[in-house]
Structure 1
Amino acid sequence: MTTAETSEHDEPEDDVKMTIWEHLGELRKRLGRAAIGLVAGACVCWAYRQLLLDWLMVPYAKAWGERFPELVAAGQKPELQTLAPADAFVNYMQLALVGGVILATPIVFYQLWAFISPGLYSREKRYIIPFVVFSTTLFTSGVAFAYYVALPFSFPFFFSLLGEVGSQSGVVLTTKPTMEYYLDFAEHMLLAFGFVFELPLFIGFLSLAGIVTPQQLVRFSRYAIVGAFVVGAFVTPGPEISSQIAVSSALIALYFISVGLAFLIAKKKEAPSQS
């Protein structure tokens, strides 16, 4: 194949000049479709809102039972309180929206790819399915990590601070969190880890665009490791070092997966120039 033929095949198929208003119109269309996916996901989660709340309560209930075994023996169950008649409705709506975000991640990532695809080469457009699958898997893995690791490690520490303060004051710390507070905390953890787990994808895009190189990422790794332990200590503030190591190790692994992905991208970019 000649050089002219190669360059012709390498040109983006839909590489047409668009005005800023046309770009904004395309962005609005993609955002609208992503929003439809979010609304559909939220409607599904609203139909199963009580099951979702029960699922999200498991880490809290387990930590509460371990901290107050005497109350469990007496038949008392963990409680969440609402402060106003409409609070339960608003909190269920919030839960459904967050669940909708998680359910709609494949649609959102597909719309993201569809927005940038007109500027891609034909050989790059075939990666749409791997992109959607990879990005969705990363996000759901982050959500699962928050639910099964971060939340169970956080609540025992918070409950350990309760009880009698000192030996002379007679002050006793108790807690009965509101439904709003608990859902805010748990949902922020789920979404935060979901987005943090997108780090390999983000680094991959930066590497593909030539903004960062694998060598730069390797040099920056010492700071990334320190940052991972800082985040781990913040997310799991308890005295148990094992919980901090678990969270920090996951973040460090994500970073080095990103470095490996950057090396693969750099190698693929060098191959055509060498041939």
Structure 2
Amino acid sequence: MSSAVKQNYTLFDHLLELRTRLLHAVLGVLVVFCSLIYFAQDIYQYVAQPLLAVMPEGTQMIATDVASPFFTPFKLTIVLSIFIAMPYILYQLWSFIAPGLYKNEKRLIAPLMFGSTLLFYGGIAFAYYVVFPVAFAFFSSVAPEGVTIATDISSYLDFVLKLFFAFGAAFEIPIAIILLCWTGVTSPDSLRAKRPYIVVGAFVVGMMLTPPDIISQTMLAVPMLLLFELGIIIASFYYKEDDGEETAPKEEQ
């Protein structure tokens, strides 16, 4: 068998494996979705609770589109299903890439994938339980006199999903720092020297990803700075370990 045929067969084999992993990931999301769809209205009610709790008495959320009462909870359930199935999706990703990794890479990547999932969930929980009550109370308190607060359910969902993704992504900072230091792109000492720029950058990112109020911006920027410091501390151990290693070829599995 020629080398060209062998390479084509290997590529085709990888594509089949990728398709299998993608199908398993989609199936996992569908299983979670089918388990949650019956509770779609209750799930939306729970997500809307931070706003409903601070709305003036006698006001309520509205639906400006005919199909919004159905499609908005449906959309939320799909997104929630992806969030819940994320560990299984990452497991499928790990199963696909693990055979091509060296042993030292597996020892790093596996904990990072697990940690990134927890950090993403932590960012969403922080947004819901800490940021939303403060931000929505602020928005309700600054409404002009004579203006009735009646938020559209679809607009509210888009707003909270944006914040969920913003805080979930921001909480991945330690993972990004560890990877940058481990790959040699930068070093913990270099990041410490750039700390003043990081502080400014954190508030700029907070301004871009959150509503235009200083409370939400600060509540995103401060955790980002704390996670930046945590990432430097953890990356220091990996960086020192790599410095002590010889430049010998990597050990294959």
Establish whether TM, by shorter chain, passes 0.5.
Answer: yes
- Inter-partner Cα distance in structure 2 for 1:86 and 1:189: 24
Q: TM-score, normalised by structure 1?
A: 0.75
Which residue number corresponds to residue 165 of structure 2? 191
Which residue number corresponds to residue 158 of structure 1? 139
Are 2:78 and 1:97 aligned?
A: yes
Give 5+ residue unaligned stretches, structure 2.
1-6, 249-253
Change (3 A) 1:139 1:36: same
Superposed CA offset, 1:52-108 (max 9, x none): 1121112101221xxx3xx3xxxx3x4221223322221111111111121012112
Give 1 or 2 for the bigger CA radius of gyration.
Answer: 1
Which residue number corresponds to residue 224 of structure 2? 251
Are 2:155 and 1:181 aligned?
A: yes
Are 2:239 and 1:266 aligned?
A: yes
Q: CA deviation at 1:239?
A: 5.9
CA RMSD of aligned residues (A): 2.8
Change (3 A) 1:108 1:93: same
Corresponding letter in the other structure for 2:202: A
Q: 1:110 touches 1:128 (CA, 8 Å); kept in 2?
A: no
Q: CA deviation at 1:182?
A: 0.7
Matches within 5 A, 1:1-275: 23-64=14-55, 68=56, 71=57, 76=58, 78-126=59-107, 130-164=111-145, 172-233=146-207, 235=210, 237-238=212-213, 244-273=217-246
- Inter-partner Cα distance in structure 1 for 2:11 and 2:198: 37
Q: Give SS of 1:181's match.
A: helix
Q: TM-score, normalised by structure 2?
A: 0.81
Q: 1:157 touches 1:237 (CA, 8 Å); kept in 2?
A: no
Instruction: Report the identity percentage.
Output: 34
Q: Give SS of 2:223's match.
A: helix
- Inter-partner Cα distance in structure 1 for 2:175 and 2:214: 33
Name whichever of 38-47 and 125-134 sits farther off: 125-134
